[in-house]
Structure 1
Amino acid sequence: MAFMDCHFFSDSLGVSASMYVILPQVAKNQIGMESAERGGKHPTLYLLHGLSDDHTIWMRRTSIERYASALGLAVVMPAVNRSFYTDMPNGHKYWQFVSEELPALARSFFHLSDKREDNYVAGLSMGGYGAMKLALTHPDRFAAAASLSGVMDVKWAVQAHPGDEFKWLFGNYGGIDGTPADLFQLATELAASGKEQPKLYQFCGTEDFLYDPNIRFRDHVQEKGLELTYAEGPGGHSWEIWDNRIQDVLKWLPLPEKRL
């Protein structure tokens, strides 16, 4: 794999932004790494970070580069600060950045596919919320989305953590129901739309403080008839779990056939 530490100006944010990118490389003599070639533009996973992390965290806490190399998969990891992947009422437009500007810029910089069947999104905690929001809002752009220990119920999250930060992010707490910030509403709308649906994957540890909201979201998605692979297991909100589970996500992705 090739590793890029990419810094660029964002028109959406009005400031310089950052992302880590890993790109497939076929190497015949590299010891301890399996590599793959698919031909054409690279299938791409947008991999999102959590509330207290940044774009470096997946590379620092997991072996995502090694895992992706064997699949011939590009991985784009953007920095979005504590934004909850939303356009703030009185702040930066992080939803516009991650949903519109970032993919366009990444494809202009690198040899990435723009085909729906080649694009996927995943994340943990806040990033799990962002991943589901992207795929449920834009099912025409993403073939699959995965959440690991995600914040699936934003209304519950803001009520459980009163304070100014969530007011900056979402404005009026009572105004989340039925809005584009509400994953439950997005799932309902997609199920009724007749649009092609992305595959969904959801995991949460049974001791995670986000377990109950994850169960509520799982039940809602299944009730609406969306295609969901659900998994759970012992453990809390930790990288020991996420390093293992991201490997499961990569195996689950509907990747195109590869050429070794």
Structure 2
Amino acid sequence: MGLTSLPLQLMTGALAIGALVATVWAWPRLAGRLAGRRWTAVLARAGVLAGNQVLTLAALGLFVNNYFGFYGSWDDLLGTDPGTAAITIAGQGLQVLDSQAVRGGRIEHVIMPGPTTHLSEQAYVFLPTAYLTDHRRRFPAILALTGYPGDPRNLMTRLDLPGRLATAISRHQVPPAVLVMMRPSVVLPRDTECVDVPGGPQIQKYFADDVRRDMTTAYRVAPGREYWGIIGGSTGGYCALKLAMTHPQAFSAAVSLSGYYRTIIDGTTGDLFGGQQALEHDNDLMWRLATLPAPPVNVLVTSSRKGESDYRSTLAFLAAVKPPMQASSLILPSGGHNFNTWNRELPQALPWLAQQLHAPSGEAPSSTAAPSGGPSTGAPG
């Protein structure tokens, strides 16, 4: 059974409760039979208690993992996910693994190769109905990133980004746009914080160059910066802001949901800067605002006065922004660092981002190829 499957959670929870009930019922008998053999009695009782604790912790761990979306599979948890290494083939284009019709369009499960970085990662691409019916147009695109370690499926199952975007399009709140859903942790289990690591994975370059090139080559997505926005939560929020601020030639707008403003260094990241203070500064958004010319991008940051640890740093970030950069904020009275908070912010945040993007005019070049998994044409079934 899958790590996040409901049957596994129910079975583990039932075992934990059953073991507790059995322990309470059998404890007097266990103590009575082994009373004359003290060391055996102690070991038996310790074993029973340890077994109960393991089952209880397992049940709680599965519930917490499913709620927060830390790990999406056993491979993610164990760091044995073979997806990246298996599909990294230099020069090979975007590959479609699966496709399904959804409300308001279609979702394609794809592999995004990195011809310049030699990285590769899975993604889910939402194509709105207008994309499927009007083959002459190019469309703006939104790159959506999870937190760490993250599972891009959470952007659909927990945040319903495709459904929210489809609703906003149907209500004529935003122009039709393509949505690209990914996780920023391209080289799991390592957390690279979207850093171009010296002598290591070039994560910023992968998202700013390779992913955008894959999308504009395989889909009718406009290449200009004014057609591209980026949104993310937690680590994905930090990455969204950083990518927009460091690559304004690639992204014109960004939304950070509960993001932070300086690179986190811990046991999951290792040494990301190779002792280079200049690179550390380059990834510090507050340092950039204080030292470098402001980039011509528009950003929205979210937090809450009670429940979010980034509230004060968010206020400091907003105060440091200067033209031509523009910053807006969405501050809730209260809300923790979780999906529930982001679901309260997205009804405003996602349309805001889509509204910052231009709607391309003119026809798409006839040479634009369809993804290798099948043509992205026809109305959804």
Q: Look up the match of 1:57.
A: 154
Structure 2 unpaired stretches of 5+:
1-104, 186-190, 361-381
1:80 lines up with 2:189 in the alignment: no
Is the CA contact (8 Å cut-off) linking 1:120 and 1:145 kept in structure 2? yes
1 or 2, which has the higher helix percentage?
2
Deviations 1:156-208 (A, max 9, x none): x43xxxx4433333344x836863211123334232xxx6x111111112211
Q: What code does the residue aligned with 1:22 have?
A: F
Q: Look up the match of 1:182.
A: 284
Q: Look up the match of 1:32.
A: none
State the distance in 1 between where 2:204 and 2:119 align: 15
Deviations 1:103-151 (A, max 9, x none): 0011111111112221111111111111111111122332211111002
Provide TM-score, normalisation by structure 2.
0.56
Is the CA contact (8 Å cut-off) linking 1:201 and 1:230 kept in structure 2? yes
Is the CA contact (8 Å cut-off) linking 1:42 and 1:74 kept in structure 2? yes
1:19 lines up with 2:119 in the alignment: no
Structure 1 unpaired stretches of 5+:
28-34
* Residues 39, 240 of structure 1: alpha-carbon distance in 2 compared, 3 angstrom cutoff: farther
Q: Look up the match of 1:237.
A: 337
User: Once superposed, what is the RMSD of the aligned Cα atoms?
Assistant: 2.8
- Pairing 1:1-260 to 2, within 5 Å after superposition: 1-12=105-116, 14-26=118-130, 40-69=137-166, 70=169, 71=174, 72-81=176-185, 82-89=191-198, 91-154=200-263, 157-158=264-265, 163-172=266-275, 175=277, 179-188=281-290, 189-191=292-294, 197-206=296-305, 207-221=307-321, 226-233=325-332, 234-253=334-353, 254-256=356-358
Is the CA contact (8 Å cut-off) linking 1:91 and 1:168 kept in structure 2? no
State the distance in 1 between where 2:180 and 2:121 align: 13
- Structure 1 SS opposite 2:269: helix
Is the CA contact (8 Å cut-off) linking 1:136 and 1:187 kept in structure 2? no
Is the CA contact (8 Å cut-off) linking 1:121 and 1:145 kept in structure 2? yes
State the distance in 2 between where 1:8 and 1:140 align: 21
* Residues 152, 139 of structure 1: alpha-carbon distance in 2 compared, 3 angstrom cutoff: same
| Structure ID, larger Rg | 2
Aligned residues: 239
Provide TM-score, normalisation by structure 1.
0.80
